[in-house]
Structure 1
């Protein structure tokens, strides 16, 4: 955990680099000037929250790795509640605070991240865990442990960063079609997060249980955990997919009223985009569960290289080429994104079926260390 905290400190400093060039980055993308200004401010401020975000993750893994997911849930509920309260105060200028709009939303997010990191740190350093796990003893930098952490966790972190980057470029490409297609795409992605966030929780649970079973030399039990997680994820995502197709208005209603001309145009496009989301939801479930198993076993390099390669080869580059050279439309671009997620699910299923992950260990057994 302490080595993860040092990684968080380094990550926070590293994130200052893209923050310094935010203006140039979004000028290169070429969105509408009004959108570009808001994007630049929002991105720059969010970069400042990278350190607390990674620190929160490092501390939370102490609890999730031990199966104390209720602690993680409680802290996240507190952090999200603080985020929402700060959103209300800073976006709209309540309680004597300035009305900051999207800048206020970014600062509210950072405040929530700081609260999350502080809550986890207080619990981790509390009397209970100090006496039971000696949480204060491992604070010194351990080069060997840090190297091992980076060996297995580094590819996972790089994968996450480049995955976010790929989808960000995808949004940049969509943004070149105009503000209405971009708004519709953002609507679809925000609604999909309702399904995706619980799926992340399912993936964390699977990864934790797989790691525990492999640590006990129970690969068959680890495989059973994977299939159980897949059944649960498929049931949930299948239900959400049905909702996106049958009652899309239920999911779109909280975002605005059709009386507004711009929202009405984005609304009609978003209804169609939700059908794309429904199509790839089940594959997304398979992707999350199988990658969770592979990551729990330590097969992080394979996950990283396959995810990066497929993201750019199937989603980003074809979308850019289709728009730039063939005047491709929004639905064609979304087809590439949908194909990417579907192929990801198949790729990681095939890797899972090889069974190579069953012989992997993130931490060697005690008899191997002696």
Structure 2
């Protein structure tokens, strides 16, 4: 334990890169969590609609963000190989992509009513879903733009800046959420629309801060951050070659989750709202581990860029161990203290007796989360290492196959054909995570990733 703390690529190095990213993800978790708590207290329909509305938005935005953020691996390998003047140009290729992505996301806001009509949710929930989805989709370009610029720091391992910008966005978003949802002070009461506007303002602030920090003259001499703004067809296509599978991987993963959530919504508003609560709590498990996932990407990318494959493997192992340690802590909390966590979502109009059945269902679902978090740690850690090497095609195919075979098809039969209930549907999610962890570990152990490069 102690030797791995001090070694190159050990726990200390992973913490140095990963802890600010974990804090950044934690701030995003707190933003989403408080958003759901405020909406839950406002109305159960708003809480139900916020999950499906935000997830459908994210399934599209995740694709574009996944492509744009892959510039992180390019930056890491350029820095590791001693080519810092290529950092600016590759970040700019990501920025040009983000601008086109923002336009596509804004256009997608027009199809929201058609998507939610197909889901078959209650009319009062569907109206709220469409409104929330539309606001988030129009504003998504701001978030993708910020993600592109953040690669300049995350790829170099300077993740503290990413953390501070994320915290700034959270500090603005959380009070705005409360004020715009409930109509506090000079703000009108806007319900779920207020939550959407608060999120958009938080994204805008983060994007503006990244632009001010990245586009300084001080970053020109070493990294060509100003002179590298031109569109470079060859570099752009290379970014797309590795980034598109990465974005598709995230899209397929989120598509499976979105399909699952939309089907759960057909069981009724209470089932959808309870699923929303539990997925919101799951973010405290998933998002910090995703911060370590990005740390594994960066450290593996830098080590491979410098020609040190053994250091890359050691860093990946450290990241996986830390992911598992966090998963154990969160699982213990979910199993032994579920009640107080779920009580935070109780609508103000519900008595404890009226809320009791929802609370009980949530306690059972949190045991599912506790179980899959332990497997998720391995899946997230190893897939981060594979993506850091450039093995994005395998990760894409793995997630696509698992989403189709364990989330989309089985959940449809469980809900629509056999009417087997909520717990059977959630068993599909558990199976999905188990398979991801097994095959990600198998691919990593093969070692083919050690010979891959993106530059």
TM tier, smaller: over 0.9
Which stretch shows the higher mean deviation, 70-79 or 8-17?
8-17
Distance (Å, rounded) in 1 between the aligned partners of 2:303 and 2:354? 52
Q: Is 1:159–2:245 an aligned residue pair?
A: no
Paired residue secondary structure (2:240)? helix
Paired residue secondary structure (1:128)? helix
Q: Is 1:147–2:237 an aligned residue pair?
A: yes
Distance (Å, rounded) in 2 between the aligned partners of 1:282 and 1:134? 42
Distance (Å, rounded) in 1 between the aligned partners of 2:221 and 2:169? 27
Distance (Å, rounded) in 2 between the aligned partners of 1:250 and 1:341? 26
Aligned equivalent of 1:354 = 446
Correspondent of 1:287 among 371, 375, 379:
379
Aligned equivalent of 1:367 = none
**Larger RCO (CA under 8 A, 6+ residues apart):** 2
TM-score, normalised with respect to structure 1: 0.95
Correspondent of 1:266 among 354, 358, 368:
358
Aligned equivalent of 2:228 = 138
Distance (Å, rounded) in 1 between the aligned partners of 2:441 and 2:242? 20
Q: CA deviation at 1:83?
A: 1.1
Paired residue secondary structure (1:327)? coil
Aligned equivalent of 2:265 = 175
Paired residue secondary structure (1:177)? coil
Paired residue secondary structure (2:423)? helix
Aligned partners of 2:389 and 2:449 also within 8 Å = yes
- Unaligned regions of 5+ residues in structure 1, if any? 364-370
Q: CA deviation at 1:261?
A: 5.0
Q: CA deviation at 1:193?
A: 0.4
Distance (Å, rounded) in 2 between the aligned partners of 1:263 and 1:117? 40
Correspondent of 1:222 among 293, 312, 322:
312
**Mapping of residues 114-129 of structure 1, within 5 Å:** 114-129=204-219
Aligned partners of 1:180 and 1:262 also within 8 Å = no
Q: CA deviation at 1:132?
A: 3.4
Distance (Å, rounded) in 2 between the aligned partners of 1:32 and 1:231? 44
Distance (Å, rounded) in 1 between the aligned partners of 2:308 and 2:355? 53
Aligned equivalent of 1:251 = 341
- Unaligned regions of 5+ residues in structure 2, if any? 1-90
Distance (Å, rounded) in 2 between the aligned partners of 1:55 and 1:199? 23
Deviations 1:271-312 (A, max 9, x none): 000000011001111111011001100011111111011111
Q: CA deviation at 1:354?
A: 0.6
Q: Is 1:10–2:100 an aligned residue pair?
A: yes
**Mapping of residues 58-73 of structure 1, within 5 Å:** 58-73=148-163
Distance (Å, rounded) in 2 between the aligned partners of 1:256 and 1:197? 24
Superposition CA RMSD, Å: 1.3
Q: CA deviation at 1:85?
A: 2.4
Q: Is 1:189–2:279 an aligned residue pair?
A: yes
Aligned equivalent of 1:313 = 405
Q: CA deviation at 1:264?
A: 2.6
Aligned partners of 1:180 and 1:265 also within 8 Å = no
Aligned partners of 1:174 and 1:181 also within 8 Å = yes
Q: CA deviation at 1:262?
A: 5.0
Q: Is 1:304–2:370 an aligned residue pair?
A: no
TM-score, normalised with respect to structure 2: 0.78
Distance (Å, rounded) in 2 between the aligned partners of 1:306 and 1:37? 35
Aligned partners of 2:343 and 2:359 also within 8 Å = no
**Count of aligned residue pairs for this structure pair:** 363
Q: CA deviation at 1:16?
A: 2.6
Aligned equivalent of 1:93 = 183
